[in-house]
Structure 1
Amino acid sequence: MQLYNTLSAKERATLIEQAGKQRLTLSFYAYSKIGNPTLFRNHLFVLWNEQDVLGRIYVAHEGINAQLSVPADNFNEFKTKLDAIPFLENVRLNIAVEQDNKSFLKLKVKVRDKIVADGLNDDTFDVTNIGVHLKAKEFNELLADPNTVCVDMRNHYESEIGHFDGAVTPDVDTFRDSLDIIEEDLKEHKEDKNLLMYCTGGIRCEKASAYYKHKGFKNVFQLEGGIIEYVRQVNEEKLENKFVGKNFVFDHRRAEKISEDVIANCHQCGTPCDTHVNCENEACHLLFIQCDACKEKMQGCCSEQCQEVHNLPFEEQKELRKGTHNSNKIFKKGRSEVLKFKK
């Protein structure tokens, strides 16, 4: 029984091109007690590998967090088999705003301690006592309320290129970092303010809302389905769009354009730009914002030092990487002294 990928990303990309068929990028999550995550992981891999599903999926005792690329003509079969899993029946599927056939090039189903790295001890509070879910129309109404504090539960590199108008955007590297900062900043308003939260697809807010209710916040609300579902409802119901810029996504697309506004800057020259790239020096791979002019000048690298390494023969680059781990800059996305115009 095959329980792992046998094709490289390059080989898979070629097959997708040759097939010439449309694929759908979508995501979903569900909190549910899974007794044997490894067994469930293996079941999903076999099931989805047969359906040519690609993506990045995390399975844990607490549930599942999935980001997928599904062949459009196989979608009904995919949905039918998903619904056959009791706790996933009729789970909300967040369909991407912008589609790309190569959003994912491998099927990766991984067992993790948590489906989102929140650093919390779930035994210390009721994770099912969550905040009020809001549709897009209700979200807009509460956002306009002067008694509301709207908080972006994403990381700095996500909110830098796009966020809701008037939202608080914590300058944090991880979801866990934001939890204590927000509680401290709003400690005087636990009873008299509306705490309105949002994230990409809703999963971070699901846990955060229960955590903040445990911490004494009385009026906790969250955007159901996150930014992805919000945009769908805005377009379908002809609502006013309150999201400015791009929505950062965790696949090869890196972002979806929600409005025409460009609210970020190239990290190298400061010109308006909201295109994330990874440094072409494989030993660095830093995620940062780079305009086309700087991309050409720097050959897609974040610094002159990385550019020099990138221009070395491949074998020399491999030698330089031997015995060393990738820089922590990779995990501190957009955090580097070489980026002169980082906000």
Structure 2
Amino acid sequence: MQLYNKLSAIERAALIDEAGKDRITISFYQYYKIENPKLFRNKLFLEWNPLDVLGRIYVSYEGINAQLSVPSENFYALKNQLDTISFLKDIRLNVAIEHNNKSFLKLKVKVRDKIVADGLQDETFDVTNKGVHLNAKEFNDMLANPDTICVDMRNHYESEIGHFEGAITPDVDTFRDSLDTIEEDLKDNKEDKNLLMYCTGGIRCEKASAYYKHKGFKNVFQLEGGIIEYTRQVNEEGVENKFIGKNFVFDHRRAEKITDDVLSNCHQCGKACDTHTNCANEGCHLLFIQCDACSEKMENTCSTDCQEVIQLSFEEQKELRKGKGNSNQIFKKGRSEVLKFKQ
């Protein structure tokens, strides 16, 4: 009985090309007390693998967070399978704005302590006591209210390339950092202002809204379905769009274009640019913004040191990485002294 992916990303990419089938990228989440996450994880893998589902799925005692792609022809089979699970029946599926058949190359279903890393002790507050959900039009109306403070619950490398007009975009590296930063900055407005939050697909706001209510904020609101669902409603229902730039996504596409506005710059030369890349040196893998000219000149690396490393043989590069775990010290997101034009 196969419970784990056995193909490499390269082998899977070749199979996708060979199949020649269009794939749909979707995401969903649900907070729910799962008694046996490992058993549930195995059930999902066994049922999704035959449907050629690929993606990154986290399961924990607090629920599920899924980002995946599936062949278009298997979409309804997947939907029907989800409907057989009581707490996922009729779950809203956030369908990507821009599709890419290779948004995911493996099926990874992992058991985690949390479906979103937050560093919080969940027993200190009720995660189900969340804020008021708003659709796109309601969000726009609340955004226009002078008594509203709109906060981006994403990290700096996400909001850097796109955000809502007038939103506060905390310069933070993690979701946990943003919780404390926002509470401190808005501590004098817990009762007299509307706290309006948004994120990519809604999952971070789901927990953040409950956290802020626990911390004494009286009027807490969140964008239901996040930027992804907001954009769908803008496109399909004629709602005025208040988001500018790109929406960062956590798959091989890295971003979806919402408007043509370019809000950021190449971190190496300063030219207007909003394309993220990962440094080609596997021992660095830094996520940063790089224009086409710098990409060609630097061979997709973040520095001359990394450029020198990728000229070495595979074995030599492997030797250099020995003893260095894949920690946050290596996989930093857009923060490095070598990036001269990181704002």
TM > 0.5 fold call: yes
How far apart, in 2, do the equivalents of 1:294 and 1:307 lie? 12
- Asked whether the 8 Å contact 1:284–1:326 carries over to 2, the reply is no
Partner residue in 2 for 1:178: 178
- Asked whether the 8 Å contact 1:309–1:317 carries over to 2, the reply is yes
1:145-202 Cα deviation digits (max 9, x unpaired): 1110000000000000000010000000000000011011111100000000000000
Partner residue in 2 for 1:324: 324
Q: Runs of at least 4 residues of structure 1 off by over 6 A? A: none
Q: Structure 1 stretch 305-314 or stretch 284-293: which is displaced more? A: 305-314
How far apart, in 1, do the equivalents of 2:170 and 2:89 lie? 35
What TM-score do you get using the length of structure 2 for normalisation?
Answer: 0.99
Deviation of the 1:324 alpha carbon: 2.3
Partner residue in 1 for 2:114: 114
2:89 counterpart of 1:89: yes
- Asked whether the 8 Å contact 2:30–2:64 carries over to 1, the reply is yes
- Asked whether the 8 Å contact 1:24–1:99 carries over to 2, the reply is yes
How far apart, in 2, do the equivalents of 1:213 and 1:59 lie? 25
- Asked whether the 8 Å contact 2:284–2:331 carries over to 1, the reply is no
Deviation of the 1:329 alpha carbon: 4.4
- Asked whether the 8 Å contact 1:283–1:327 carries over to 2, the reply is no
How far apart, in 2, do the equivalents of 1:168 and 1:322 lie? 41
Partner residue in 2 for 1:127: 127
- Asked whether the 8 Å contact 1:155–1:170 carries over to 2, the reply is yes
Deviation of the 1:328 alpha carbon: 3.4
How far apart, in 1, do the equivalents of 2:79 and 2:201 lie? 19
Give the secondary-structure state (helix, strand or coil) at the position aligned to 1:39: helix
How far apart, in 1, do the equivalents of 2:261 and 2:195 lie? 26
Give the secondary-structure state (helix, strand or coil) at the position aligned to 2:35: coil
The letter for the 1-side match of 2:283 is A
How far apart, in 2, do the equivalents of 1:327 and 1:342 lie? 22
How far apart, in 1, do the equivalents of 2:330 and 2:301 lie? 13
- Asked whether the 8 Å contact 1:263–1:272 carries over to 2, the reply is yes
Partner residue in 2 for 1:252: 252
Partner residue in 2 for 1:166: 166
- Asked whether the 8 Å contact 1:329–1:336 carries over to 2, the reply is no
Give the secondary-structure state (helix, strand or coil) at the position aligned to 1:288: strand
The letter for the 1-side match of 2:188 is E
Unaligned runs of 5+ in 1: none
How far apart, in 2, do the equivalents of 1:12 and 1:269 lie? 35
How far apart, in 2, do the equivalents of 1:177 and 1:340 lie? 24
How far apart, in 2, do the equivalents of 1:114 and 1:99 lie? 28
1:17-49 Cα deviation digits (max 9, x unpaired): 111110000000000010000000000010100
1:247-285 Cα deviation digits (max 9, x unpaired): 000000000000000000000000000000000111100
1:125-157 Cα deviation digits (max 9, x unpaired): 111110000000000011011110000000000
Partner residue in 2 for 1:342: 342
Partner residue in 2 for 1:231: 231
2:10 counterpart of 1:10: yes
Give the secondary-structure state (helix, strand or coil) at the position aligned to 2:55: strand
How far apart, in 2, do the equivalents of 1:89 and 1:80 lie? 9
How far apart, in 2, do the equivalents of 1:297 and 1:258 lie? 29
1:189-234 Cα deviation digits (max 9, x unpaired): 0000000000000000000000000111010000000000000000
How far apart, in 1, do the equivalents of 2:18 and 2:244 lie? 37
How far apart, in 2, do the equivalents of 1:242 and 1:202 lie? 17
Partner residue in 1 for 2:31: 31
Partner residue in 2 for 1:212: 212
Unaligned runs of 5+ in 2: none
Deviation of the 1:326 alpha carbon: 4.0
Deviation of the 1:299 alpha carbon: 0.6
Give the secondary-structure state (helix, strand or coil) at the position aligned to 1:328: coil
Deviation of the 1:325 alpha carbon: 2.4
Deviation of the 1:122 alpha carbon: 1.1
The letter for the 2-side match of 1:148 is T
How far apart, in 2, do the equivalents of 1:332 and 1:282 lie? 12
1:266-315 Cα deviation digits (max 9, x unpaired): 00000000000000111100000000000011011000000010111222
What TM-score do you get using the length of structure 1 for normalisation?
Answer: 0.99
How far apart, in 2, do the equivalents of 1:262 and 1:306 lie? 27
